[in-house]
A and B are shown apart, each in its own frame.
Chain A
Amino acid sequence: MTSELDIFVGNTTLIDEDVYRLWLDGYSVSDAVALRVRSGILEQTGATAAVLQSDTMDHYRTFHMLERLLHAPPKLLHQLIFQIPPSRQALLIERYYAFDEAFVREVLGKKLSKGTKKDLDDISTKTGITLKSCRRQFDNFKRVFKVVEEMRGSLVDNIQQHFLLSDRLSRDYAAIVFFANNRFETGKKKLQYLSFGDFAFCAELMIQNWTLGAVDSQVDDMDVDLDKEFLQDLKELKVLVADKDLLDLHKSVVCTALRGKLSVFSEMEANFKNLSRGLVNVAAKLIHNKDVRDLFVDLVEKFVEPCRSDHWPLSDVRLFLNQYSASVHSLDGFRHQALWDRYMGTLRGCLLRLYHD
């Protein structure tokens, strides 16, 4: 006796959250059944393995049919084939677009192209996430990217509107899209200590302050691309380190203000010029795409690592950065205050977030 056909169709589509998770995680039906058996469900319900198998198959089939709709979540809301309560629809979408931290760290800032897709095998091996799940996550990134890439308006809003994601997840996707578009390098060894959250935080700051959308909300690609003009102008900041007097003046203003307030005052004093040079040079180089990509590498190399090697506490870093950016206003010879604030305001936020072990 073999089962040829075995289906269950409810007027309201049954969604089993546990099975959905297994499906999203890319387990095959048999693996999923095995995992469910291990969860002790048979004992709880008195069901048999055959029942579990049939149930899992059914759910997988349903999810498979739903997947097409999940690719365009508004479709899921308007379709007539599956009657699903709104809360369940939201859950389906949110979970489908959720991603693994380990995975996103691997692809963050990479071009979402076929080439990267080929590397998914390696990512899967490296992270222990099934290839199927990697593909889903990658395709989600790519799909969202494609849809919002050329769109006007706020990146987060666009994502939310076209994919019906929660605010939190929309922000994450905005970061992913932003990183993918600007191809920030995040995979270097010295960046490994950073989490997706760190990058997402920085992305949000940069989107808010450094993109075209930050100054003009009527431009295409406003939130996705950095403001070229702004990057161009950043060269002007170079004067802060190129002009020796200005640099010394800057240093003395900062040191005066911070004397006695920092536990690492002497180290700061000794390193001030290096740190300042690092930060300003980063700004000045951002006109080249290559250097934009290396932004995080540079920040870590030029600022985070030196401070860390001197064991600066975070509070000192904060005090320093505040003072460092603020004191530029008292430098009489410096004319690019607004530019400096736009640059340093964001950078300060980023650096504070990046500064940890």
Chain B
Amino acid sequence: MPGKLKVKIVAGRHLPVMDRASDLTDAFVEVKFGNTTFKTDVYLKSLNPQWNSEWFKFEVDDEDLQDEPLQITVLDHDTYSANDAIGKVYIDIDPLLYSEAATVISGWFPIYDTIHGIRGEINVIVKVDLFNDLNRFRQSSCGVKFFCTTSIPKCYRAVIIHGFVEELVVNEDPEYQWIDRIRTPRASNEARQRLISLMSGELQRKIGLKVLEMRGNAVVGYLQCFDLEGESGLVVRAIGTACTLDKLSSPAAFLPACNSPCKEMKESPLVHPPSHGCRSTQNSPIHTATGSRLTQNFSVSVPTLIYTGMGSGSAGKEGGPFKALLRQQTQSALEQRGGSPHRFCKRREFPFFTLTAFPPGFLVHVGGVVSARSVKLLDRIHNPDEPETRDAWWAEIRQEIKSHAKALGCHAVVGYSESTSICEEVCILSASGTAAVLNPRFLQDGTVEGCLEQRLEENLPVGCGFCHIPYDELNMPFPAHLTYCYNCRKQKVPDVLFTTIDLPTDATVIGKGCLIQARLCRLKKKAQAEANATAISNLLPFMEYEVHTQLMNKLKLKGMNALFGLRIQITVGENMLMGLASATGVYLAALPTPGGIQIAGKTPNDSSYEQHISHMQKKINDTIAKNKELYEINPPETSEEVIGSPIPEPRQRSRLLRSQSESSDEVIELDLSHGKKDAFVLEIDDTDAMEDVHSLLTDVPPPSGFYSCNTEIMPGINNWTSEIQMFTSVRVIRLSSLNLTNQALNKNFNDLCENLLKSLYFKLRSMIPCCLCHVNFTVSLPEDELIQVTVTAVAITFDKNQALQTTKTHIEKSLQRASTDNEELLQFPLELCSDSLPSHPFPPAKEHLESASSNSGIPAAQRATSVDYSSFADRCSSWIELIKLKAQTIRRGSIKTTVTVEKASPMGEGNFRNRSAPPCANSTVGVVKMTPLSFIPGAKITKYLGIINMFFIRETTSLREEGGVSGFLHAFIAEVFAMVRAHVAALGGNAVVSYIMKQCVFMENPNKNQAQCLINVSGDAVVFVRESDLEVASTQQAAATCQPLCTGGEVTT
């Protein structure tokens, strides 16, 4: 018996009145795990019963521990008739199964009933005793940690990133037609909730086994989804990235996460910060088209777009051969491991990574966004024991993605995700990611020769490396428009980048970013089976193309040149297809200035028409100018200030380089400098195009003081304050079914999204200045004329003035400090290197500083500045100067700069560890923060308590009485939040990070006064500590840290 589960039922409160006569309740509790059930005594006549039960003990396999939820049912005892259920609590005990997470689950849980919602609370204590039983053939995977966070979690260091893990399980859906069922709605809902809970447990266990096979110990970027396939069943599938993580020794060791949502870099042996990019141009052609094929179950593979660069250019000087070498090596690294007999073979097949932010140096180049879609007909006869069909479907899609990546000269895909859209028996499977070249160092256990590493690092100036094209310029699989990088001038870059990942923290960004959305609807004839699937697959390429065009137009209209976090969602309904693409636009300093948009008409003789066109043209130009001002995208040539302005360096650099490049490489340089040649031409020869132009101009920028993005951090904003507000907003509109045209549909959809955003801005106006981060739109088409849009995001306040003020003051202080510090800093990396990773020599000091700065929580723009300095400083060739400048930027980046510097080096860490327990106790009890981001501004995460993955069904047969559909859903979502918070609090946590609402399926039948909703949420439960709580201690610490450098270093490594 590998495990003993112990449960104690303490008390209840706020129970509903179950006996009308006495206005009281005779409550008792059933505790069930697997097939064993215990009961408490009946506590007579109380709404606040004190059971204070004995410890109920379940002796179970660890396999069951992973699969089964603990099920607690509260009932009202009735002498004469059957006992009435008050409600249930499902507790996932998985967090108790790994040693570092929670040790006990204890707290008040809302008692939930699928018909009545929350009905009081129950206080429960749960413990697990695990026995080690390593000799057995393991079916369980206890101990593998799961994280929803799509970057390396804050208290950990990635030793190896193994790669892709996936699994799916299928079952029959206990309830596929909710309106006409025979058993009670409650019974059916509960069966469904329980089944899904079981399936998630099983899925997680199976994925864990795969991770163990790969010798990993954790899954990062774990994404689990449900496909409600109706009659054909229920699919639960998950993907993730297997890693070997090391816990950082001291809880205080990692950095203040306030500004950098990204990674732990301090201990990482890597030199440059992560980089990613991808390319795309307006007329990017369809890259590959896989033909439709009919298999036993109908399936259509859809031609896939790869957003790539276009145009041609000469080969970079040393780029070609070097890149080939690198590619070869990484490829072999990947294959080597995959080929090893002990490891899971699928890993070799799919070098995919669900991460969106990476340890420094992990990502070398980015090839472009790759996506694949496939339309399938769900098979009517379903065999739960054979999920092979679904497996094969996904394998097909992944294969396609892999080949697209290859075509882009990349061997890996990062920021990878999968999704489905189901309508009746048609299902669209989608997968997308960013093709990339990765640094092999992380992928295998220290067998790479050092020389390559060094070359790599020398060749890739930090801050722009990820923009450089990974493919061979001479042998490009598609036309691309390349220029020399505006940052280093050595390598080629495309004119526009699209990626699915987060903005690398070291990217040099000018100005601020903004949320960019492309929205599109296409009507489709109602059809059955194959005809329907064919119709859909015929529409898809056009939709993708249009979505891409819209994104491009909007990007140019904003005066920006790159998209991050791109997510394109295609939703299928009975009679229409919807496409919604969201991304965060930024201006990357390494890429050329985007050209404008030019409008051309096809009937140039008509003078009024021409007037109209010139009017439109003027409007567009005005908008671009306005946007540039709004997002502070200053042309690099204007300002003189170097230090003190947030983005000083690019100007100087580009001026320097411009003169240089004019002599050496003038053709390309001249072409791009004034953008006329590659200006985007919009031909408005028909009404459709006119619509496009109009829709371009109808997107209203957020009111002043507001910014929005769908990535983790907003480029250009770094001084977050601690107020956060996570929210979910849902809207459903009913289209008037008369005369629906594509245009009307587009307009409706566009208005829906825009109005929703406007409402959010209005609601959150009290938080100004603030930024909506991780804005996540989901579209579904629940019925013929209904469009449902669900948005989850977090609003974070920031201090407008702080950055400017601190800049100056910190520079002075830091200059002093830097001069005293730098010698010590210089010595240090060699030690670290020899201790931890002897097989990877690399140039010492520079790297350490690099990692220090990225470590220190300096957000993109500022860190980017430091990056720029390095290229600049090469010219001055003054080492000390460089260090000073870097230290300066570190200081500029965060308020608690002294601490930052100390923490970035291991000596700081050593000292911090000596300081005993972190003041967790200080954090306010009761309040649980929720955020879709992986960090909490102004605080640092000290512990990950485990994954939260919850599935709820709520149903009502008294819709009107509960306030109609809005009242019903509002209450339900509030309840879901409450239950998530309660579980986190019971685990001892005070926040959920990387929170996501993966599903919100809402169905209504107003005529019957009924509605039903299914919600699936997940996230990571964590403990965080406010930085202000640490402030005093750390500053004291900081003063003492200079001296015991060597000892400190030893402690940590």
Contact = CB atoms under 8 A, between A and B. Distances in A.
Contacts of B763: 8, 14, 55, 58
A81 B978 contact: yes
A9 B110 contact: no
Interface stretch (A44-52, A177-185, A216-224): A44-52
Contacts of B748: 1
Contacts of A10: 725-727
A80 B762 contact: no
B732 A3 contact: yes
A9 B729 contact: yes
Interface in B962-985: 963, 965-967, 969-971, 973-975, 977-978, 981-982
Given A45-B703, A61-B966, A80-B981, A4 B733 contact: yes
Interface in A249-302: none
B734 A48 contact: no
Interface string B936-973: 00000000000000000000000000010111011101
Contact of A75 (B14, B929, B965, B978): B14
Contacts of B929: 11
Contact of A65 (B110, B733, B752, B971): B971
A57 B966 contact: yes
Contact of B13 (A2, A14, A64, A78): A78
A82 interface: yes
A80 B978 contact: yes
Contact of B733 (A1, A57, A75): A1
Interface in B907-954: 927-930
B504 to A, nearest CB: 29
Interface string A42-84: 0001111011101101100110110000000001001111110
Interface string A198-219: 0000000000000000000000
Contacts of B752: 1
B977 to A, nearest CB: 6
A338 interface: no
B233 to A, nearest CB: 28
Contacts of B971: 65
A45 B731 contact: no
B1003 to A, nearest CB: 12
A14 B977 CA distance: 14
Nearest to A47: B762
B735 interface: yes
Interface in B204-236: none
B590 interface: no
Nearest to A80: B978
Contact of B762 (A12, A51, A78): A51
Given A9-B970, A61-B966, A81-B118, A3 B731 contact: yes
A2 B966 contact: no
Contacts of A46: 703
A4 to B, nearest CB: 4
Nearest to A85: B927
B974 A3 contact: no
B765 interface: yes
A49 to B, nearest CB: 11
Contacts of B13: 78
Interface string B696-725: 000000010000000000000000000001
B224 to A, nearest CB: 22
A3 B748 CA distance: 11
A65 B977 CA distance: 15
Given A1-B733, A1-B735, A80 B108 contact: yes
B110 A80 contact: yes
Contact of A45 (B730, B762, B788): B762
A210 B501 CA distance: 76
A145 B796 CA distance: 44
A300 to B, nearest CB: 44
A45 B765 contact: yes
Contacts of A58: 763, 970
Nearest to B110: A80
A102 to B, nearest CB: 31
Contacts of B406: none
B129 interface: no
B1002 interface: yes
Contacts of B632: none
Given A7-B973, A55-B759, A80 B731 contact: no
B735 to A, nearest CB: 6
Contacts of B930: 11
B194 interface: no
Given A11-B929, A55-B763, A78-B14, A5 B703 contact: no
B22 interface: no
B759 A9 contact: no
B974 A65 contact: yes
Contacts of B970: 7, 9, 58, 61-62, 65
Residue among B725, B734, B763, B982 facing the most chain A CB atoms (10 A cut-off)? B763
10 contacts: A6-B730, A7-B729, A9-B727, A9-B973, A13-B974, A51-B762, A52-B762, A55-B763, A61-B967, A80-B981
Interface of A: 1-14, 45-48, 50-52, 54-55, 57-58, 61-62, 64-65, 75, 78-83, 85
Interface of B: 13-14, 108, 110, 118, 121, 703, 725-736, 748, 751-752, 755, 758-763, 765, 786, 788, 927-930, 963, 965-967, 969-971, 973-975, 977-978, 981-982, 1002
Given A7-B731, A47-B758, A57-B966, 16 more contacts: A1-B736, A3-B731, A4-B786, A8-B728, A8-B759, A11-B930, A47-B762, A51-B755, A51-B759, A52-B762, A62-B970, A64-B963, A81-B118, A81-B974, A81-B977, A83-B981
